[in-house]
Structure 1
Amino acid sequence: MPRIGKVLVVGGGVGGLSAAISLAIKGVEVELIEKRPDFNVPGVGLGQPACALRIYREFGVLEEILDTGFSYDHMTIFDQERTPIVEHRFLMGGAGFPAFCALPRASLHSILYKRAVFLGVSFRFGIEVTDFSGPLGVSIGFSDGSNGEFDAVAGFDGIRSTVRQFIVGDMFGPRPSGIGAWRLQVDRPSCVTGMEFMQGIRGKAGAIPISRDKMYLFNIRPENPGEIFAREDMHVLLQERLLQFGGYVADIANDLNRESPIVYGALEPFIVPYPWHRGRVTMGGDAAHVVPPHLTAGAAMAAEDGFVLARYLLGEHGTIDDLITAYGKTRYDRNAFVYIFANDWLSMEQAVGSAAELASRQRRTHPKCRQAHRSGRPHSRYI
């Protein structure tokens, strides 16, 4: 029977914290290292679908997440002026779970961090792995000159992962898509009660409510790969990019200024095929897969990775190598589905290249979808 007594988790994002909590609940000694000096978490908001909420229930933090965030059960697609095209009602959730609950990234992170501390996870900040040695790669050298011995290493260290570099080298990793995402936390208009998209020409704007009074606005559109925008120019640049949109988007754009907390990031999707390990060093979250944000599934998939990894590492049937291999295959299959779906959606929306093509797509929306939107009945078709 394989025994895992001590695990190093590299990276303290949602995936790393989920792995640490899942292992600690089972009595494993967990050390988590984070290269940042603290958890001053960047980002805006995270939509958490029911699959992630079920995991948070296992952690004992579901109620706090639901109390902090905004729950919703629908997504609506609008034209540039926020005229409805079609509404989709999610069939997830049920039995005490909303279909989605979105909340500020920092809030989710704080909730998970506090839970991990309560469970006895040991944290070390401002430190990185510099060496994986020994036949299984789990004799670890750290950037502060210290060393450690572990039964397994779980890399959740993000898109520029050191752990992924050890496992697969440069064969797989982030690739520029030529698409960027602008995000901004703002006050929530009462009309925004779920996830919504405003389809434009070569891109879209939209919003997700993240609390009773806040939402995050986003704009996804073509940008030059590697472009770095000066902080003092970002409000003007975002105003220019939002010119094609009306409704509350136009109102928010008009109010942007140098102090507006605008966040920009290039989309660099990729997925590493399994196996996701070398020796007893494995990976998950953004280290193994990054998808476009269209399904709001990135953090949820990372949380699933951490939860499932713990289940496999502590399995009783098969060798540890067998169990880690099975983890990689299981999670690759799941994440590949999300990756393909999100990339197809990104491609479709970016392919709307003119006003005439946008109008044509609106006309081609299935009549039953339009009728379902008017009647309020659940449905799932959209442009």
Structure 2
Amino acid sequence: MAYLGLMTTTVLVVGGGPAGMACAIAMAQAGVPSEIVEISEDWRPGGIGIALQSAPLRAMKQLGLFGALLAVGRPHRFIDMCGADGTRFAEVPQVNVNDPDDPPFLGMARESLHEVMVAEVQRRGIPVHLGVTVRRIGAADDSGVEVELTDGRVRRFAYVVAADGVNSATRASALPHAPEPAYAGQVIWRAAAKCPPGLDRYTMLIGGPVRVGLVPLPDGGLYLWMLDTTIGPERPPRDQLLELFQERLGRFGGAAPAVAEQLTDNAQIDFRALQWLIVPPPWHSGRTLLIGDAVHTTTPHMAYGAGLALEDAVVLGELAGSGLPFDEMATAFETRRFERARLVVENSLQLSRWEQEPGPPNPGANRLVGETMATLAAQI
């Protein structure tokens, strides 16, 4: 089926998650029209909670979304580090790269971030096609590329930006020699609850091969994550999730018991194996460019996975509006983003591997986190 048409300036963004929406918003700011295809029909966010550090919040400022995020996020200026019994042994200040009065760290529900970004996509009139993705990316030339969509349409776009996540189908076709995501050796459990009275700050509880994060959210909510090295990557049967989760959470004191008693149903528990991926450049082929988790998936140890994707979008928006030919634009994007992404992925993975070692926490962890955050404070 051939497409007969003239040159187009519209960009196709594959994926309607934070990376894809941020990309479309950044391009709209630069005067570059785009459309989003999202394979999900209900367009709901994955996950439960999210934390955005100061540098990703800087990117959100550039996208014009900082004020909206302040309205739905809860600031955290410190993280309390505690033993398994809840006794605090350290207070870790969070780095601020923005205005002195800005929060260095915002915790929020994934749904809240999603709603803020959807509202901006709609305000800008960016078309979003739900239940649709790419079936085939055809031949490309200097004026664009033909794309067949899963709804049967064949259209021509200036180029394609693939923001379709760690399991990117686009990566397999556009970069067939790219490495596949690898298991990091840990899993993460997640749950949402009401914040117990007296828990006001982001708190980490460390108990050998398991560690827990309790993140107070706005309106009395709480996001709980639990990193675990005592179980393999295969998802347990759904009817066992709560029991296995409670077994692990039961070793912790502090506010953990008050959270545990709220969790009574398997459906409240989310379980995922941690994966990592760093694809060496190039991240583009033909007139298709990959961004976000499709080329750099990180474990959550630096809380920077979504942050990298948001930064990708800002840089790509800037370059997309520069008028560079596609190959030059894509190469410039990769040059600016690869080392930063590699730093986050590899250092997060190192923290994960140290956590899997027996014995007390590795003394190099604090140094590695500090050095990484200092580097990430630099402008993108």
TM-score (norm 2): 0.88
**Distance in 1, Cα, partners of 2:80 & 2:209:** 19
Q: Which residue of 2 aligns with 1:105?
A: 110
Secondary structure (helix, strand or coil) at the match of 2:246 reads: helix
Rate the CA distance shift 1:54–1:337 in 2: closer, same or farther, 3 A: same
Q: Which residue of 2 aligns with 1:121?
A: 126
Matched, 1:262 2:269: yes
Preserved CA contact (<8 Å) 1:23 1:30: yes
Secondary structure (helix, strand or coil) at the match of 2:258 reads: helix
Secondary structure (helix, strand or coil) at the match of 1:337 reads: helix
Matched, 1:320 2:326: yes
**Distance in 2, Cα, partners of 1:335 & 1:343:** 12
Q: Which residue of 1 aligns with 2:13?
A: 9
1:323 is displaced (CA, Å) by 1.7
Q: Which residue of 1 aligns with 2:224?
A: 217
Rate the CA distance shift 1:292–1:162 in 2: closer, same or farther, 3 A: same
Secondary structure (helix, strand or coil) at the match of 1:15 reads: helix
1:214 is displaced (CA, Å) by 1.1
Preserved CA contact (<8 Å) 1:93 1:100: no
Matched, 1:76 2:83: no
Letter matched to residue 229 of structure 1:
P
1:197 is displaced (CA, Å) by 1.6
Preserved CA contact (<8 Å) 1:49 1:300: yes
Q: How many residues align?
A: 358
Deviations 1:167-217 (A, max 9, x none): 221531211223110011111234433333211111211212222411211
Letter matched to residue 188 of structure 1:
C
Secondary structure (helix, strand or coil) at the match of 1:121 reads: coil
Secondary structure (helix, strand or coil) at the match of 1:178 reads: strand
Rate the CA distance shift 1:225–1:165 in 2: closer, same or farther, 3 A: farther
Q: Once the two structures are aligned, what percentage of the paired residues are identical?
A: 27
Deviations 1:224-267 (A, max 9, x none): 55412233321111011223211211332244212662111110
**Distance in 2, Cα, partners of 1:333 & 1:247:** 39
The answer to which of 295-304 and 161-170 deviates more is 161-170
Q: Which residue of 1 aligns with 2:301?
A: 294
Rate the CA distance shift 1:183–1:341 in 2: closer, same or farther, 3 A: same
**Distance in 1, Cα, partners of 2:244 & 2:230:** 11
**Distance in 1, Cα, partners of 2:294 & 2:364:** 37
**Distance in 2, Cα, partners of 1:190 & 1:99:** 24
Deviations 1:132-172 (A, max 9, x none): 11135821011111111111111000111022112221531
The answer to which of 166-175 and 142-151 deviates more is 166-175
Matched, 1:134 2:168: no
Preserved CA contact (<8 Å) 1:313 1:324: no
Matched, 1:62 2:69: no
Rate the CA distance shift 1:340–1:259 in 2: closer, same or farther, 3 A: closer
Rate the CA distance shift 1:115–1:344 in 2: closer, same or farther, 3 A: same
Q: Which residue of 2 aligns with 1:32?
A: 36
Q: Which residue of 1 aligns with 2:355?
A: 349
The answer to which of 135-144 and 322-331 deviates more is 135-144
1:80 is displaced (CA, Å) by 0.6
Preserved CA contact (<8 Å) 1:72 1:193: no
Q: What pairs with 1:130-279 in structure 2 (closer than 5 Å)?
A: 130-136=135-141, 138-169=145-176, 171-222=178-229, 224-258=231-265, 261-279=268-286
The answer to which of 86-95 and 9-18 deviates more is 86-95
Show structure 1 runs of 5+ residues with no match.
370-379
1:310 is displaced (CA, Å) by 1.5
**Distance in 2, Cα, partners of 1:299 & 1:121:** 21
Preserved CA contact (<8 Å) 1:239 1:253: yes
TM-score (norm 1): 0.87
Letter matched to residue 45 of structure 1:
G
